[in-house]
Homo-oligomer: A and B are copies of this chain.
Amino acid sequence: MANSHFKRGELYSVINAMAAAAVARRMQKNFRDAGLDITIEQWSVLYHLWKEDGLSQQDLCNRTFRDKPSITRLIDNLEKLKLVKRTTSKYDKRKNQIYLTDSAKDLQQHTIDLANKTMDEALVGIAKDEIETVKIVLQKVYDNLNAEVK
Contacts and interface: CB of A to CB of B under 8 A. Distances in A.
Interface of A: 3-9, 11-26, 29, 44, 47, 50, 65, 108-109, 112-113, 115-116, 118-119, 121-126, 130-131, 133-142, 144-146, 148-149
A131 B12 contact: yes
A12 B119 contact: yes
Contact of A133 (B108, B109, B118, B134): B134
Contact of A12 (B108, B135, B141): B135
Contacts of A137: 126, 130-131, 133-134
Contacts of A116: 6-9
Nearest to A41: B17
Most buried by B among A11, A19, A123: A19
